[in-house]
Structure 1
Amino acid sequence: MRKFFLYLVPSLFFVASLLLMTSGGWLKEPVGKSDDVLFHVENIEQYIQEKRWEEAASEHKKALQAWDQVSKRVQFSAERDIINEIKGSLSRIKGGIKAQNANTTLSEIYYFYGLWEDLT
């Protein structure tokens, strides 16, 4: 019996660790409406193109709240650099919205899309 547990416990730990480390792709997906980061960023893009800056700022706040929820889920399965880059990208989007600079904001949004795809 002891030999059974000697092999079972490390094997289960290895499998659990492997599952956790490879789960970034489905952990970034929204669980509810409040944590859909990609949806909020796509709305920001639409508002920027329509020059609706107040709505874009409001949607940005929702995106930050959603990212706070998602980042806690993916922190063990994604690289720390990508998580920090996404947070930085969202901050630069905020700066572009405050400056009402559509070119800067849109380029940062597309950079965010690339980071989001890499978050697996």
Structure 2
Amino acid sequence: MKKKAVYSILYYGVPVVILAVFVAALNSVPYLKRPIGPHDDVPGLMAAVEAHVVAGRWDQARADVERLITAWDMVARRIQFTAGRDKLTRISANLARLRGAVMAEDRTGALVELGEAREQWDSLER
């Protein structure tokens, strides 16, 4: 009787545990994209870059764009298996275009790319 109980647990328990782990992993994007520290605060850095661009402080905007790209790389590594690859690629492309717009001191282009990157960031959970 004891042997039958062990087989029963293995037969039903292992698949349930595996499914639970996969469901938890696939629904973990909201938790994984939260900043662990100030070095990977993507929304905060987006807001800082936007403030610098609007005020015309291009040197500070350039520095914050580099920090933003570094922070995004950290977060992207954490969520690469649970978020859609196309969304990750779009955010990376937006940030690359943002870097170019800030280097060219193009206020309109920078704000457009920031807005699109923010929208992609917000849609990662969907």
Matched, 1:15 2:20: yes
Give me the CA root mean square deviation: 0.8
Residue 106 (1) aligns with residue 120 (2)? no
Where structure 1 has 5 or more consecutive residues not aligned to the other structure, the ranges are: none
2:73 to 47, 68, 74: 68
Show the counterpart of 1:34: 39
Gaps of 5+ in 2: 1-5
Query: For residues 64-103 of structure 1, what are the structure 2 equivalents within 5 Å?
Result: 64-103=69-108
State the Cα distance separating 1:113 from its structure 2 match: 1.1
Identity of aligned residues (%): 28
Match of 1:43 in 2: 48
Length-normalised TM-score, structure 1: 0.96
Kindly indicate whether residue 29 of structure 2 is the aligned counterpart of residue 24 of structure 1.
Answer: yes
TM-score by length of structure 2 reads: 0.92
Report the AA paired with residue 53 of structure 1.
W
Q: Distance in 2 between matches of 1:98 and 1:3?
A: 64
After the TM superposition, which segments of 4 or more aligned residues of structure 1 sit over 4 Å from their partners? none
Max radius of gyration: which structure?
2
Residue 3 of structure 1: how far off its partner (Å) = 2.2
State the secondary structure of the residue aligned to 1:29.
coil
Cα drift, residue 41 of structure 1: 1.1
Question: Comparing 79-88 with 6-15, which one deviates more in the overlay?
Answer: 6-15
Equivalence for 2:61 = 56
Aligned length, in residue pairs: 120
Which structure has more RCO (C-alpha within 8 Å, separation ≥ 6)? Answer: 1
